[in-house]
Amino acid sequence: MKKYFVIGNPIDHSLSPKLHNHWFKENKIDAIYDKKKIKENDLKNVFSEFKENKINGINVTVPFKKSVIPYLDELSPEADQTQSVNTIILSNNNLIGHNTDIAGFTQAIKNLNFDIKGKKIFILGAGGVVPSIIFALNKMNVAKIIVSNRTKNKAEELKSRFLNLDVLDWGDITDFDVIINATSLGLKEESINLDFSKLGNNKLFYDVIYNPLETNFLKEGKKLGNRTENGKFMFVYQAFEAFKLWHGIEPSINKETLEILSND
Ligand code: ATR
């Protein structure tokens, strides 16, 4: 039986095992997908097991999307440009790091039928998933991207890699067409201390978080008359791309798939 894992810390919130195990069943693949909470100094062991074929594939989540890179033999161009890896395959004894968050986010936006081209985007946070979002937004030809992060130098570091960024102090607010919460605020019912009430409505409030399905950030956006969307489709599409890389099969995305993620 083949073995797959998502590694991260914290890992409890991850619905990857549920989704991949559902797709294994549906496609009659003899495999199991589990979650592994690890510490930075466990990475060496994890990757030696992977190289010995004891593991067949790994998804990577917070906070290891960058720190796994030294253990890999090769990166896809997207993983290399974002320095962010969320899916790892073993091919001809080489560990190859991919980034399917980019395709996941792109597909999630396409799904919304929201014309993001030429729009002004305000991103909250500068953690692991943000380079992928910026990469995807640039490909979709947005007009402007502004990043605000509690630890400002992390936003400044992004600016040195993606030249078209503006950086705003944490706590300050700017006008935008789309705001993206890419912080971890909301995973534990926290609110974000920004006042959106004077900016008008008909904007898109997007939260990368998918569990819980509606964070306080999205509740607030909705209350003010904006369109809102959680990270569920981004999550499903990044998993879809990972599944394709590992098994060469396009798994189904339908009502049943989405229900699996809601019954928690
Ligand atoms: P990492 O930064 O280790 O990659 P992440 O979960 O990808 O982890 O990112 C967490 C994001 O949420 C970061 O932008 C983090 O801000 P810092 O860079 O300042 O840590 C942000 N974040 C987490 N807790 C926060 C809080 N209480 N207030 C504001 N931002 C917070």
pLDDT, tens digit, 9 for 90 and up, residues 211-243 = 899 999 999 999 999 999 999 999 999 999 999
* pLDDT of 70: 98
- Measured from the Cβ of residue 200, the count of other Cβ atoms closer than 10 Å reads 11
* pLDDT of 163: 83
Task: Report residue 262's pLDDT band, with 50, 70 and 90 as the boundaries.
Answer: confident
Could you report the per-residue pLDDT of 85-141, keeping only the tens digit for each?
999 999 999 999 999 999 999 999 999 999 999 999 999 999 989 999 999 999 999
DSSP letters along 41-67, please? GGHHHHHHHHHTTS--EEEE-TT-TTT
Q: Whose CA is nearest to atom 16 of ligand 1?
A: 150
Could you report the per-residue pLDDT of 194-211, keeping only the tens digit for each?
999 999 999 999 999 988
Q: Look at domain 115-230 and name its CATH class.
A: alpha beta
The DSSP call for residue 71 is: G
* pLDDT of 21: 98
Once rounded to an integer, what is the mean pLDDT over residues 255-259?
Answer: 91
| CATH match of 2-99+233-259 with 3.40.50.720 | no
**Alpha helical stretches, state H, 122-247:** 130-139, 152-161, 216-223, 232-247
Once rounded to an integer, what is the mean pLDDT over residues 1-22?
Answer: 95
| Helix axes 232-247 and 101-111, enclosed angle (nearest 10) | 130
Helices (H) and strands (E) in the chain, counts: 9, 12
What is the Cα–Cα distance from 22 to 33, expressed in whole angstroms? 10
Q: Is residue 128 in contact with ligand 1, taking CB distance under 6 Å?
A: yes
* pLDDT of 263: 56
Residue pair 241/100 in contact by the 8 Å Cβ criterion: yes
Chain region(s) in the chain for CATH 3.40.50.720:
115-230
What is the Cα–Cα distance from 189 to 196, expressed in whole angstroms? 18
* pLDDT of 261: 82
Candidates 168, 68, 98, 97; CA nearest to 126 is 168
Q: Is residue 183 in contact with ligand 1, taking CB distance under 6 Å?
A: yes
Is residue 264 over pLDDT 80?
no
Could you report the per-residue pLDDT of 38-79, keeping only the tens digit for each?
999 999 999 999 999 999 999 999 899 999 999 999 999 999
* pLDDT of 19: 97
More confident residue, 163 or 11: 11
Largest CA distance in the chain: 57
Q: Whose CA is nearest to atom 12 of ligand 1?
A: 183
Percent of the chain with pLDDT over 70: 99
* pLDDT of 39: 98
Chain region(s) in the chain for CATH 3.40.50.10860:
2-99+233-259
Three-state DSSP class for 27?
coil
pTM: 0.95
What average pLDDT is seen over the chain?
96
* pLDDT of 208: 96
Percent of the chain with pLDDT over 90: 92
Q: Is residue 149 in contact with ligand 1, taking CB distance under 6 Å?
A: yes
Once rounded to an integer, what is the mean pLDDT over residues 251-262?
Answer: 90
The DSSP call for residue 211 is: S
In the chain, the N- to C-terminal Cα span, in Å, equals: 27
Candidates 8, 261, 6, 218; CA nearest to 128 is 8
- Label residue 39 exposed, middle or buried (CB < 10 Å: 0-12, 13-18, 19+): exposed
- Measured from the Cβ of residue 18, the count of other Cβ atoms closer than 10 Å reads 16
**Partners of residue 120 on adjacent β-strands:** 144
Q: Is residue 62 in contact with ligand 1, taking CB distance under 6 Å?
A: yes
Q: Which atom of ligand 1 is least distant from the CA of 190?
A: 27
* pLDDT of 23: 98
Q: Examine residue 212 and say whether the peptide bond preceding it is cis (omega within 30 degrees of 0).
A: yes
- How far is ligand 1, taken at its centre, from the CA of residue 141, in Å? 26
Candidates 176, 124, 180; CA nearest to 152 is 124
